[in-house]
Chains A and B, each alone.
Chain A
Amino acid sequence: MSAESVSVRRGLYADSVTLMQMSRDLGHADGVTAALVAMATDLNLDVLRDLGFSQPETTSANDLVIAVRAHDEKTLVAAIAAAERLFDARQRDQGVEDDRRVPPRTMSAAIRAAGPGVAVISIPGQHAFTEAMDAVESGCDVHLFSDNVTVDQEVVLKEAARQRGLLVMGPDCGTSVIGGIAVGFGHTVEPGPVGIVAASGTGAQQVMCLLDTAGVGISDVLGVGGRDLSEAVGGRSTLTALTRLEADDRTELIMVISKPPSPSVAERLRVFSAGLRKPVEFALLGYDGSDLTAATERVLVRLGAPVPVWPSWIAPTKPVAGAVRGLFCGGTLCEEAILVATPRLGRIRSNIPLPFDGPLGPSLRAPGHVMIDFGDDALTRGRAHPVIDPTLRNQFLKVALTDAATGVVQMDVLLGHSAHPDPVGELVPLIVGAPRPIVVTLVGARRDPQDLGSSAYRLRSAGASVFTSNAEATRYAVSLATADAAR
């Protein structure tokens, strides 16, 4: 003869982990055969049904259900009383304080409670402008990780920020480092004299990691978003960022990393920079045949710091006749590879728009040289950025390695905060015994959580050639492809 009870308590709430623990403890009590303490969500009501309990009277997902089945009435009453005691204790502990733990629902509510700071927004793009405006109006700088923000919205947002002396980093801003804290994809590096204004996230990551290798630290990395130096946006965030770094005591030299700006914005930027006390070094990708490594070296020279040999670990390889297949997580690294490789390889197809390349269809396949940015908007819709989850990129790696047309595979691995906890661990099984040479750009700093040294070692041990400079990696990949062609 067993006894059971299903009761509903309104106005009680506990998180699911707590409730699962309670259910478990209650279910393990002597004489209790089944127990569920749960919020009355559809899912939990299904669980209740599966346990053979009757359904409670009308509930909402905010009600708490206590269901117990026991060998006898006495055990049942004792078990329910025990559950109630747990809740009474929780209520007493939390009392009036309880509702204060309810997290704020908007940027302004959070900022009103804590005082201004930096808002980091990574919600879906169609909603991002609203939340970002709210943050700016509440006196915060904004790091806008979200993409799919319109140019109109970007201009309005940046103008609102400019009028308040605030900085909008983004949209589609992957990286910034503020007061030593890396936001988005970034690295922990030593404090130092170089302040970076970056319209390119992975470009900034490459530069800060090369500087880290050279023993030169950074003050801040202020992302501005890939469109900031366009005609429409007019460099609003870049100018604010330059002003910030000019006023920042830690910064001795300012580096601007971007694609070539529109001519009128370039002129404004040139005039503005000339008026600053601090030297400004421009790394404008594809503008003068330069690359990120060369720009970093110019910075080191200006600072009087020695230019190191950029570490690389080249695996013994046998070139294979075929095309270069570039599989990138970092958009700027992909773009830089195309810019560096094109003069030697000729036409390279890609999914990122460049004036002289051929567009790539949605299959991302083409017979010749191909370089793919897996961080492109079209490829991140409905899935995480490949720096966080490289699954899609790694699937293409398998395909590229078995494709008879492939001569060499070039790819990037980005370490650092917010990135996959061990991207190399994911890659190694795919690389070992690969029939074609693999060239990897490893972007990482010495204190990254994934461990730069071991990441390089494992890649090299698996048979990949590893470079810390993306430009050098590209030249090497090209040399493999062209060496074979010349033979």
Chain B
Amino acid sequence: MTPPRDGARFFTAGIDVLADALIAQGADVHRVEWKPPMLDTERDLAQVMADPRRVPANTEAFRRIASTDAYLIDVLPAGSALGLSRGDLLHAGPPIDWERASGPLRGALMGAAALEGLAARPEDAVSLFASGKGYSLEPTHHYGAVGPMAGVVSSSMWVFVIEDRASGRRTYCTLNEGLGKVLRYGAYSPDVLTRLRWMSDELAPLLQQAVRTHGPIDLRAILAQMLHMGDEGHNRNRAGTLMFLRELLPDLIDSGRPSSEIARAVRFIATNDHFFLNLAMPACKLTLDAARGIAGSTIVVAMARNGTDFGIQIAGTDDEWFTGPAQVPVGLFLGSYGPDDANPDIGDSAITETAGVGGFAMASAPAIVRFVGGQVADALATSRRMYEITVGEHPMYSIPAFDFRGTPTGIDVTKIVRTQILPQITTGMAGKHAGVGQVGAGLVTPPPDVFPKALAALACRVPASARLGRPVSGGNG
């Protein structure tokens, strides 16, 4: 047996006999475990793969996602920051009306209506919403904003303002209310509204003052560090929250506000492990928005759920939503709640996975797998699997367990359709009835059919010069 002359390396996909013959000749063979793509997608796949714009477009999309800054620069009332009037309400996920809204979204809208004085009590808002008049309901994403769970934003709530300093583009997110009975999980009891009023009246103005004194805070730097401290930036934000607090603490203390007020704010933030989520999310959105509108790109720039539908947006298809039914997460439940109490997946927080953290960085947060009774190896395998459906590795976010390999970043629709590997999302679970609040936390994936839908739209947009004809049978010239 002569050794290979120049050490050729082979990659095989398909029949084993060819790979076996190469191995028998002493070749360096790497087998691809190829499986058929999602059903009836081969023509759209071929068409999109034939688009000469795709590779440069995806390279540019990844470059922008990886290199865009995200600084917290201010805290402002949503009314002025987003241009919302009193009856304007925003919600997470793709567009939806009251009719199709799930329990938690309805509960959050009812709470917000009471908060804004659109109704005397949350319960009274039902008739207002059912009438379809006297309010507007639009996705947060259409306003440059994101919101966890129900994601409801109304004019009197305050928002973090995140800015890409190079372009001046901004994104926004409300302040996190904590866990359990909170508006974003669909709870609207008096204590929920009282907390929201305190946040608008006391917490947010104090944070505004501290942030303005401190100057811009680099959120991506915190995200990068928290991945080395057991967080993944979606369902675990403990280290990120503490780092944020550490950053702002001197300016809070120096604010000149009464010490009791500062103590309330610090206690609130320090005991809310998810406080940083509402900073991670708009930071992720800011980097992803930079990749919007790149013709030919197959990169996902948003994944968002409204509790009924799961929607995705793609860099190469402008602001079009591709939607399918939201799935019910699998996970652990609080107290006596069980799977029957859970609402389908809800919230804009899958923006973290879209940007290369969250479930994609699960290997950085092994504690997360306990939500599903898994093992640490599952967290590692999950992150490793996500490299199969992404185009790059994040230059700033890295995974210690993988020798600081960059997180899998830039979800490629074609790779999902080809491998049938779905993006892994870590998430909270809302009760399915309005007013209940959080019932658990766990893992979820998008409905598979949103990706073939997006692929078909991408195929339609391929310019005439790159269109493939219909397949011909035979084909042996």
Contact = CB atoms under 8 A, between A and B. Distances in A.
Contact of B49 (A130, A149, A449): A130
A376 B477 CA distance: 11
A179 B4 contact: yes
B373 A417 contact: no
Interface in A74-126: 91, 95-96, 98-100, 102-126
Contacts of A376: 476
Q: Is the interface of A mostly helix, strand, loop or mixed?
A: mixed
A28 interface: no
* Most B CB within 10 A of own CB, among A95, A106, A449: A106
B50 interface: yes
A351 B255 CA distance: 89
Contacts of A106: 32, 34, 388, 415, 418-419
Interface string B443-477: 00000000000000000000000101101111111
Given A130-B45, A150-B468, A181-B4, A105 B33 contact: yes
Interface residues of B, number: 68
B468 A153 contact: yes
Contacts of B377: 11, 91, 95-96, 98-99
Interface string A208-247: 0000000000000000001100100000000000000000
A250 B6 CA distance: 12
Nearest to A352: B476
A31 interface: no
Nearest to B45: A130
B24 interface: yes
> How many of chain A's residues touch chain B, expressed as a range?
35 or more
B46 interface: yes
B385 interface: yes
A118 B9 contact: yes
Contact of B34 (A105, A150, A151, A378): A105
- Of A110, A181, A388, A418, chain B has the most CB atoms within 10 Å of the CB of A181
A114 B86 CA distance: 57
Interface in B343-399: 373-375, 377-378, 380-381, 384-385, 387-388
A152 B475 CA distance: 11
Residue with the greatest number of chain A CB neighbours at <10 A, chosen from B9, B45, B466 = B9
A465 interface: no
B36 interface: yes
A129 interface: yes
Contacts of A250: 5
A104 B33 contact: yes
A105 B421 contact: yes
Interface in B1-53: 1-15, 17-22, 24-28, 30-37, 42, 45-46, 49-50, 52
22 contacts: A98-B381, A99-B377, A103-B32, A103-B33, A104-B33, A105-B34, A106-B415, A112-B387, A114-B9, A118-B11, A120-B14, A125-B475, A127-B37, A145-B14, A146-B14, A147-B475, A149-B475, A151-B469, A153-B46, A160-B52, A188-B25, A226-B476
Interface of A: 10-11, 91, 95-96, 98-100, 102-127, 129-131, 133-135, 137, 140, 145-153, 156, 160, 171-172, 178-184, 188, 191, 226-227, 230, 250, 331, 376-378, 384, 388, 417-418, 449
